Amino acid sequence: MVGKRYGLVKIISRQIQRRKKRIYWFVECTTCGAQKWINADNLKANKSKGCQSCSQTKSKHSAVLGRRYDAILARCTNPSHKHYPSYGGRGIQLQFKSRMEFILWVGEHLPHQDYKGVEIDRVDNNGHYAPGNLRLATRREQVNNRRNTAKVSWQGREIPLSEFPSPYTPSWTYKLVVKNGLTGEQVLERFASTTS
């Protein structure tokens, strides 16, 4: 275990302490060098990042991004979570080593004033929550990125059916595109031929 990292700390001793039936490891902060005993269960469960002073000053968005991290972790790893079948059940993983690594990466690569009104979305919906596969998206953009969002081929791209400027009602457009397999161009040609 010596040398193994958890959050902002690494284990630096083979010795352990037992306090009230709990195990504590002797660790060192990889940022400031502080050394102390920390509850092993809290480190393993990501409930503690180790060095409080360092983890609290790393990002002004730690609280909001930390909650986002916790929600992602739950739906990717907890089989009793209501969304687990769509995430962890499909093999989607959270590939950040720690909560703080996620917070720092998002803060650096996806900067935002307060992260209100935006979601942290995967670019590739079949990919993992990993560096390089995340983006900030509005709720609408995120819904349009779902696997079950109906799409239409139009002007050489696949776009959400809701963004297609169809002259028909949404339900009729859905029938033409999804059930009959027409492209956007074919839908517009069909409309033009019926009105001329």
The per-residue pLDDT for range 107-121, each reduced to its tens digit, is 889 998 888 888 898
Cβ(15)–Cβ(26) under 8 Å?
yes
38 contact partners, CB below 8 Å, separation of at least 6: 9, 24, 25, 27, 48, 50
Cα 174 to chain center, whole Å?
30
**What's the CA gap between 123 and 194, in Å, rounded?**
39
Alpha-carbon distance 124 to 132, whole Å?
10
Q: How many whole angstroms separate alpha carbon 127 and alpha carbon 175? A: 30
Q: What is the mean pLDDT of residues 117-135?
A: 90
pLDDT at residue 90 in the model: 92
User: Which pLDDT belongs to residue 151?
Assistant: 75
Structure confidence at residue 3 as a pLDDT band (50, 70, 90) = confident
Say what the pLDDT of residue 84 is: 93
Model confidence band, residue 94 (pLDDT cutoffs 50, 70, 90): very high
Distance CA(111)–CA(59), nearest Å, equals 11
Q: Give the model's confidence band at 81: pLDDT under 50 very low, under 70 low, under 90 confident, else very high.
A: very high
In Å, what is the CA distance from 15 to each residue of 26, 43, 70, 94?
7, 16, 31, 31
3-class DSSP state of 57: helix
What does the pLDDT read at residue 50? Answer: 59
The answer to whether residue 150 scores a pLDDT higher than 60 is yes
The rounded distance, in Å, linking the Cα atoms of 43 and 29 is: 13
pLDDT band, very low/low/confident/very high, at 166 (cuts 50, 70, 90) = confident
**CB-based contact 1:20 (threshold 8 Å):** no
User: At which residue do the structure tokens 């930390």 appear?
Assistant: 66
pLDDT bin (cut points 50, 70, 90) of residue 32 is: low
pTM beyond 0.85: no
Q: What's the pLDDT at 115?
A: 87
Q: Is the Cβ–Cβ distance between 26 and 12 less than 8 Å?
A: yes
Percentage of residues of the chain with pLDDT beyond 90 = 20
156 alpha carbon, distance to own chain's centre: 29
What pLDDT score does 5 carry?
Answer: 82
Q: Is the pLDDT of residue 56 over 60?
A: no
Statement: residue 148 has pLDDT above 70: no
Question: How crowded is residue 47: how many other Cβ atoms within 10 Å of its Cβ?
Answer: 11
Work out the pLDDT band at 89, boundaries 50, 70, 90.
Answer: very high
